[in-house]
Amino acid sequence: MGMGTSTFVTRWINFLTMLLAIVVIIFGVWMSTHHDGCRKSLTLPVIGLGAVIFLISVVGFLGALKDISILLWVYLISLFIVLMGILVFTVLVFIVTNNGSGHSVTGLRYKEYQLQDFSSWFLKELNNSHNWERLKVCLVKSEDCNNLSKKYKTLKQYKSAKLTPIEAGCCRPPSQCGYPAANASYYDLTFHPVSPNNDCKRYKNSRAIKCYDCDSCKAGVAQYMKTEWRVVAIFNVVLFVVLDLITFFITPFIKELKPQFGFAAETKTLQWSCLFPAMWAWMLGEGRRTVCEVACTYNKVALRHMGGGPRTFPGGVNKWKWKRMHEKRARDKQKRLIEQEKQLYEARIRSHIRSTLSPDHRSAATATHRPLSPNDQIKALADRFVKEGAQDLWNTNDGPLTPNPTPTPTPNLNFRPKHSRAYRSVPEVRNNRVGAHKYRFWRKGSDDSSSDESESESENENELSLKTGSSASLGEYDVKREKRVVPKPSEEVEFIRRELIKRKLRQIEEQESEKQNSHESILSNTRFDESGISPQTIKALSSAGYVHMTRVQEASLSICLEGLDALVKSKTGTGKSVAFLLPAIETVLKAMTSNKSQRVPPIYVLILCPTRELASQIAAVAKVLLKYQDGIGVQTLVGGIRFKVDQKRLESEPCQILVATPGRLLDHIENKSGISLRLMGLRMLVLDEADHLLDLGFRKDVEKIVDCLPRQRQSLLFSATIPKEVRRISQLVLKREHKYVDTVGMGCVETPVKQSYLVAPHESHFQLVHHILKEHILQTPDYKVIVFCITGMVTSLMYNLLREMKMNVREMHSRKPQLYRTRISDEFKESKQLILVSSDVSSRGMNYPDVTLVIQVGIPSDREQYIHRLGRTGREDKEGEGILLIAPWEKYFLEEIKDLPLQELPLPGIYPQAKLKIENSMAKIDNDIKEAAYHAWLGYYNSIREIGREKTTVAELANQFSESIGLQRPPALFRKTAIKMGLKDIPGIRIRK
């Protein structure tokens, strides 16, 4: 490479370095224009670094342009110093900013930071009063906190916003203080802070104070500085790599420049030319090869490679890697050979045992083709490894130390192990084909009679048929001869066993007597006028026909009137609504008598329930009890009604008792409709159907609502079923010293109606439902039936089918608008000779009088849901019946309700004319309804763990369902839906293109 080429390359590389310096300066100018005065701490260092690199590049460019070696070496030394400075600064930045990851808060999309989590350098700088006063003035001038109310106009937007660290730390109190937010810039500080954190006391709603003196604000500033420094550090890393590469490439060209300062200068230049490339090679990890290339010599000519390079092998590996790789392959090959020899030796052992046990072999060729003995195999293996010309030292006594004893052959020897157990039969595999003979393996849980039969059958089979494998090769020699003898129990054990049987019989008798007592009456002897409630409420109860309390009302009313928290479990249809409405009315009366001036009219009682229909029913019962009370209003907040209509009704009409569903109430709270301020005066919280509200579907909404309520309140939870998980989660709502009232009792049935079940193929369920309904209509003139289906769309399909069959039916599910659902619910309450086809929206708390039959088509989601569905009949001491219709693959659900008195019904005979009529009616239904029912059916059973575990089975069952409803082929799923359900690439599932 000539002199001109070296200077040309050096000039252009330095020109690129100048452009890089200009980029650094532009980055610093951008930082100064996009940050205010508080956030320009790194602007001047970045601009200064760009200016220094620019000056150094100019020096290098002039040195290459004029061929001045001294300028080029000044350029190299300066560039090395700059690189070391960048490296040291970057390392220090990463060390200082290593801590402070932040803490996630439930319900917030941003993290909160604590000052003690950051490094000591941040603590020292931010706790310095002079530094913090200067930063606080900048924060007040920036008005970041004042702009929050403009950015987030509603409370819902503010709670779902992703705030910056400074906004989260300086503009709001820490979340652990528990202050409720009225809007983005105002918090209600009248509440006593939950946490002892001093920041809770430092926060003020004033624009000039906020939380600027809080440790959380300092932590937010530290996190912001950490982020900015990390950006600069990453930029420095990129800059370091680029400058390093430039220096590495430019050094060989500088070595070739002709020296202009005589022999001494030339010698000194060559010494530097050795030093710097070695230093760069060490920094870049080039190792010994690069150092050797620039080995120090004091000759006048610089050494240079003339081509070639280290020898490489296939794959780019060097000689040593190649050697190690082949050594490893040789070792692996040797291990495989040894393993094969071992398996071959074991096979020879088995063959030897087989040949010694049966000298008369299957074929006549055994005389000339006998199996190789183990001793012969060892000899053959030794011959293989004897080198040519070596002395053969084989000894015939070599081999196993104790040779296997050869038993005397016995004629007609049966090689089958004679187990006294039961076996399942599998075909013998010979020559990769399935043979006709079958062999038996033990299966757990089978009886001995089947094993005896199989043994008697096996004795008549061909004695020459053999099993394969080690157990079969040893024949009957690996079988235990003696049967285990069970010791006889002692007299003490027999006595204990008899006592346990007597105790169990006594418990069964007690349970039967309790069931008979429970069937007698749900009313108690206590009258309402003896309970100490207001005379107007007693008058309303008398006019409604209520004189005596039910058992749940008698057990819970005194506790609730004392102001204690309570968790109440009672059977369906026993008056739970009145049990919590009476204490609610007394709480409102007591609160209205205390003459406290309120800015806004408070809501004293909040009742949460899972469905709209149940909320409307509770509100109707409350209005009956408030018939003679003046000034007390009851309002409902449920879905299906326009938001502004609800808001206008709450503002214009009195509302001391609010009955709501969790979703709609949360919408009003988050949209700042003013209801959150009214709930600050709450005295009582009631959760009806608490097990459903505290389940996974509603739990998050209920937790958010409870967080917005005052802590000093009374909480009541009512339900017919309270599982252990719900009992544990109820601590989120109830106080620790709450009372637990159980009027069901251990071992009693939650609903005392006649229960039975039918097991039939799934494709015949529609025919069986029609048959059951026809039989019930003939037997019960004033019939009223509820047919529960698994989903809303399956409910719609069942309704359309029964309507085509000319039956008097109505439908109720969540896809219908609220006005329609309210109208159908009222019609079903008042009518007779009517069938209601419903989803689970009617399964909880709904008081439909005189329901004579409940049919459940398909398994419910759990045991509690089954009980709540069944509780729609047999209410108020009236008779009722429940039938569960399931498929054979759904029988596992019977284990969950085995403690209930279910009886299996025989399958009724269905006439071919009725079957043909149902098929014709199904053909008239729109295909869109059928496809929606198929998708809903597939989604429901895919979500059940016991069934959805096997995706292939679910797909097959869904295809059978599609055939039973008259679809020629299964409808296609969207690709995203199939992926989410885990049904992609499952046979039988069609994907929509």
d(CA 770, CA 809): 12
Pairing of strands 657-660, 566-569: unpaired
Q: Are residues 545 and 693 in the same domain?
A: yes
Q: 31 versus 949: which is more confidently predicted? A: 949
With bands split at pLDDT 50, 70 and 90, how would you rate the model's confidence at 517? low
d(CA 983, CA 949): 11
- pLDDT value at residue 484: 59
From the CB of residue 28, how many other CB atoms can be counted at a distance below 10 Å?
Answer: 21
Pairing of strands 784-788, 853-857: parallel
From the CB of residue 383, how many other CB atoms can be counted at a distance below 10 Å?
Answer: 10
- pLDDT value at residue 389: 62
- For range 832-838, the mean pLDDT: 90
On the CB side of 562, CA atoms within 13 Å amount to 10
Q: 125 versus 792: which is more confidently predicted? A: 792
With bands split at pLDDT 50, 70 and 90, how would you rate the model's confidence at 374? low
- pLDDT value at residue 630: 84
Backbone angles phi, psi at 359, to 5 degrees: -65, -35
Are 569 and 744 spatial neighbours (Cβ–Cβ below 8 Å)?
yes
Q: Are residues 664 and 770 in the same domain?
A: no
Of 882, 901, 925, which closes a domain? 925
Backbone angles phi, psi at 517, to 5 degrees: -65, -40
Closest CA to 689 of 586, 567, 592: 567
pLDDT tens digits, one per residue of 267-298: 333 333 344 443 444 344 333 343 344 334 33
Q: Are residues 244 and 276 in the same domain?
A: no
Closest CA to 718 of 743, 683, 749: 743
With bands split at pLDDT 50, 70 and 90, how would you rate the model's confidence at 358? low
Strands (E) across 443-541 are located at 523-527
- For range 203-232, the mean pLDDT: 80
Q: Are residues 790 and 855 in the same domain?
A: yes
Of 893, 925, 957, which closes a domain? 925
d(CA 980, CA 850): 43
pLDDT at position 939 over 80: yes
Contact residues for 28 (Cβ-Cβ < 8 A; gap 6+):
43, 44, 46, 47, 49, 50
Q: Are residues 682 and 533 in the same domain?
A: yes
Closest CA to 619 of 817, 871, 847: 847
DSSP 3-state of 592: helix
Contact residues for 892 (Cβ-Cβ < 8 A; gap 6+):
946
d(CA 480, CA 447): 19
pTM value is 0.42
- The token pair at 14 is 């330095």
Are 572 and 744 spatial neighbours (Cβ–Cβ below 8 Å)?
no
One-letter amino acid of 528 = F
DSSP 3-state of 600: coil
Residues linked to residue 438 through DSSP beta bridges, in sequence order:
427
Are 851 and 872 spatial neighbours (Cβ–Cβ below 8 Å)?
yes
**Total count of domains within the chain:** 5
Are 97 and 226 spatial neighbours (Cβ–Cβ below 8 Å)?
yes
- For range 45-65, the mean pLDDT: 77
- pLDDT value at residue 506: 81
With bands split at pLDDT 50, 70 and 90, how would you rate the model's confidence at 797? very high
Tokens 């449920």 — which residue?
A: 638
| 218 within a domain of the structure (yes/no) | yes
With bands split at pLDDT 50, 70 and 90, how would you rate the model's confidence at 100? low
Strands (E) across 422-543 are located at 423-430, 433-442, 523-527
Are 865 and 840 spatial neighbours (Cβ–Cβ below 8 Å)?
yes
Are 438 and 465 spatial neighbours (Cβ–Cβ below 8 Å)?
no
pLDDT tens digits, one per residue of 621-662: 999 999 888 888 999 998 878 888 888 888 888 899 999 999
Query: Average pLDDT over the chain, rounded to whole?
Result: 75
Backbone angles phi, psi at 856, to 5 degrees: -110, 115
- pLDDT value at residue 249: 63
- pLDDT value at residue 194: 67
Residue 360 to residues 367, 407, 536: CA-CA distances in angstroms? 10, 14, 106
| 698 within a domain of the structure (yes/no) | yes
Q: Is 990 left (phi over 0), alpha (psi -120 to 50) or beta?
A: beta
Cα-based angle 424, 429, 431 (whole degrees, multiple of 5):
175
Closest CA to 514 of 746, 721, 720: 746
Q: Are residues 544 and 673 in the same domain?
A: yes
d(CA 742, CA 568): 6
**Entry field: residues in the chain:** 993
Q: Are residues 606 and 636 in the same domain?
A: yes
Determine the structural domain holding residue 710 and report its residue range.
523-742
* CATH number of the domain that residue 780 is part of: 3.40.50.300
| 472 within a domain of the structure (yes/no) | no
d(CA 29, CA 43): 7
Q: What do you get for the CA distance between the two ends of the chain, in Å?
A: 63
pLDDT at position 201 over 60: yes
Q: Are residues 238 and 290 in the same domain?
A: no
- Most confident range, picked from 61-65, 155-159, 192-196, 340-344: 340-344
Closest CA to 804 of 909, 926, 908: 926
- For range 918-927, the mean pLDDT: 89
| 313 within a domain of the structure (yes/no) | no
Q: How much of the chain, in percent, has pLDDT values that exceed 70?
A: 74
Q: Are residues 168 and 212 in the same domain?
A: yes
What string of H, E and C letters represents the secondary structure of 873-920?
CCCCCCCCEEEEEECHHHHHHHHCCCCCCEEECCCCCCCHHHHHHHHH
With bands split at pLDDT 50, 70 and 90, how would you rate the model's confidence at 266? very low
| 615 within a domain of the structure (yes/no) | yes
Are 795 and 813 spatial neighbours (Cβ–Cβ below 8 Å)?
yes
From the CB of residue 820, how many other CB atoms can be counted at a distance below 10 Å?
Answer: 14
Closest CA to 522 of 873, 871, 875, 867: 875
- For range 606-612, the mean pLDDT: 89
Q: Are residues 80 and 125 in the same domain?
A: no
Q: Are residues 763 and 631 in the same domain?
A: no
With bands split at pLDDT 50, 70 and 90, how would you rate the model's confidence at 933? very high
| 935 within a domain of the structure (yes/no) | no
What string of H, E and C letters represents the secondary structure of 98-117?
CCCCCEECCCCCCEECCHHH
pLDDT at position 140 over 80: no
pLDDT tens digits, one per residue of 111-135: 787 777 777 777 777 777 777 777 7
- pLDDT value at residue 36: 52
pLDDT at position 419 over 70: no
pLDDT tens digits, one per residue of 466-476: 444 444 444 44
Radius of gyration of the chain (CA): 44
502-506: long-range contacts, CB 8 A cutoff, minimum separation 24: none
Q: 395 versus 134: which is more confidently predicted? A: 134
Backbone angles phi, psi at 167, to 5 degrees: -65, -40
From the CB of residue 85, how many other CB atoms can be counted at a distance below 10 Å?
Answer: 14
Q: Are residues 598 and 645 in the same domain?
A: yes
- DSSP states of 320-388 as a string? HHHHHHHHHHHHHHHHHHHHHHHHHHHHHHHHHHHHHH-SS-SSGGGGTSPPPPHHHHHHHHHHHHPPT
Q: How much of the chain, in percent, has pLDDT values that exceed 90?
A: 11
What is the signed CA dihedral for 607, 613, 619, 624, rounded to 10 degrees?
A: -140
- For range 532-545, the mean pLDDT: 88
| 420 within a domain of the structure (yes/no) | no
Of 308, 343, 366, which closes a domain? 308
Closest CA to 567 of 481, 685, 417: 685
